[in-house]
Amino acid sequence: MFSAQKPIYGNGAGVNMGGGGPSTNNPGSMSMPGVPTPMGPGMNQQIPSGGPMLMGNTLNNNNSNENGENNGNNGNNGGNGGNDANATRNNPNMVNNRGAVHALDDPNVYHWICQLTYGPQKEQALLELGRKREQFDDLAVVLWSSFGVMTSLLNEIISVYPMLQPQMLSNNLSNRVCNALVLLQCVASHPETKNLFLQAHIPLFLFPFLNTTSRQRTFEYLRLTSLGVIGALVKNDSQDVITFLLRTDIVPLCLRIMESSSELSKTVAIFILQKILLDDVGLQYICATLERFYAVTNVLKDMVEHLTVSTPPGRLLKHIIRCYLRLSDDLEARRLLKIVLPAKLRDNTFTEVLRDDVGSKRCLAQLLLTLNEETS
Ligand code: TRP
């Protein structure tokens, strides 16, 4: 089973949302909303701290890993091919001479990579490698370049396509594929593998998951973890990523998720939309037709309506405001926004909510100012 869904959002249950905690107040900077880590077979567990696979290659240089293993012994640089894997399995943080932590210096990584490719412990390999993803700064490179690994991950993904119907997708299967997605996210976020990942069109494999609409947790989790992969791709602004995504029609998928998925999925989906809008090509794309513009603003408006009934609006509102503000950079969109901007953004409904968020307050003020100015 999945661990607590609702509390995941907003650090409610002491769960690390990743992305360095609350987003900064700098309107220009965005931290990617965290995505919880699927935890494999026994999903009754708490999502581990360290869970969100976010964003940035935060190198976890602590001497403890997520299993709480902590032997403080960094002396074993074996790397001798897995025979002593059992002996060294509890020694996850091998530090090389330069202080960097290389995945292949840890025989456990080698062991699990072999298992992932050849079995028989593929499922456990997915889990173990996912747990290790933040310990090494080069796990993504190892995953990408190890023979058979990407094939194996894609195979995990493709094999659940026939099960994407309510009642057919078991918790266990959903967890398993989420663990594979977490490893894909690792590859998608690393600067050395990101472009290769994109050029191989691997994000397309996620679309069947993003395209599901079931509200069952198994499906929510698949959508959320898939969004996490896309979120990792858009995180560092890259025109190539945006151009690729626009060609795939990701926007309507994000909009649907923003309309009807869990709050956490909504947050990642709007993060992706915001990143698309911040790109000049993305903004032009959305503003190219009235249908697109209205599709986006209708969903944003609905979200604003729902914010007032849910507590507290948290990150969604920040993203909503920034999406509107960015839309107002397009003159035609600005003209229309004067008409369709929700009254609740004009009438101080959110003053209290935004009290401590200087960045969002400033963005909202700027938006209202822009809309009040005359445009030709
Ligand atoms: N092919 C559609 C289009 O280009 C994709 C689409 C549907 C879309 N709904 C959208 C794009 C909303 C942006 C916004 O319009």
Amino acid, res. 217: R
Helix (H) or strand (E) holding 282: helix 280-286
What's the CA gap between 276 and 283, in Å, rounded?
7
Instruction: Output the pLDDT for position 263.
Output: 92
Give one DSSP letter per residue of 69-110, joined into a string. Answer: -----------STTTTHHHHTT------TTS---GGGSHHHH
What's the CA gap between 161 and 182, in Å, rounded?
17
Phi–psi pair at 195, nearest 5 degrees: -70, -35
Nearest Cα to 209, choosing from 224, 195, 197? Answer: 224
Tell me the three state secondary structure of residue 135. Answer: coil
Structural tokens at position 177: 């594929």
Structural tokens at position 228: 């996490």
What's the CA gap between 102 and 149, in Å, rounded?
18
What's the CA gap between 133 and 59, in Å, rounded?
9
Instruction: Output the pLDDT for position 195.
Output: 96
Contacts 24+ apart (CB under 8 A), 113-116: 113/142, 113/143, 113/146, 113/149, 114/82, 116/149, 116/152, 116/153
pLDDT band at residue 309 under the 50/70/90 scheme: low
| Nearest CA residue ID for atom 14, ligand 1 | 292
| Nearest CA residue ID for atom 4, ligand 1 | 249
Tens digit of each residue's pLDDT (9 = 90 or more) over 272-290:
999 999 999 999 999 999 9
How close is the Cα of 167 to the center of ligand 1, in Å? Answer: 31
What's the CA gap between 246 and 77, in Å, rounded?
45
Q: Is 252 in the pocket of ligand 1 (CB under 6 A)?
A: yes
Structural tokens at position 339: 């008409």
Instruction: Output the pLDDT for position 189.
Output: 95
Nearest Cα to 156, choosing from 196, 183, 186? Answer: 183
More confident residue, 50 or 365: 365
pLDDT band at residue 36 under the 50/70/90 scheme: low
| Nearest CA residue ID for atom 2, ligand 1 | 249
Structural tokens at position 77: 């640089």
Amino acid, res. 209: F
What's the CA gap between 204 and 206, in Å, rounded?
5
pLDDT band at residue 19 under the 50/70/90 scheme: very low
Instruction: Output the pLDDT for position 18.
Output: 34
pLDDT band at residue 34 under the 50/70/90 scheme: low
pLDDT band at residue 222 under the 50/70/90 scheme: very high
What is the number of helices (H) and of strands (E) in the chain? 18, 0
* Ligand 1 pocket mutation pick from 211, 248, 251 by most atoms within 8 angstroms of CB: 251
Give one DSSP letter per residue of 237-252, joined into a string. Answer: --HHHHHHHHHTTHHH
Q: Which residues of 345-357 are buried (b: 16+ CB within 10 A; e: fewer)?
A: beeeebeebbeeb
What's the CA gap between 269 and 250, in Å, rounded?
10
Q: Is 290 in the pocket of ligand 1 (CB under 6 A)?
A: no
Tens digit of each residue's pLDDT (9 = 90 or more) over 46-86:
223 233 333 333 222 333 333 333 333 333 333 333 333 34
pTM (predicted TM-score): 0.79
Q: Is 288 in the pocket of ligand 1 (CB under 6 A)?
A: no
**For 354, which DSSP code?**
T
What's the CA gap between 119 and 70, in Å, rounded?
27
Instruction: Output the pLDDT for position 190.
Output: 95
Q: Is 294 in the pocket of ligand 1 (CB under 6 A)?
A: no
How close is the Cα of 345 to the center of ligand 1, in Å? Answer: 26
What's the CA gap between 52 and 62, in Å, rounded?
17
Structural tokens at position 277: 């809008």
Amino acid, res. 5: Q
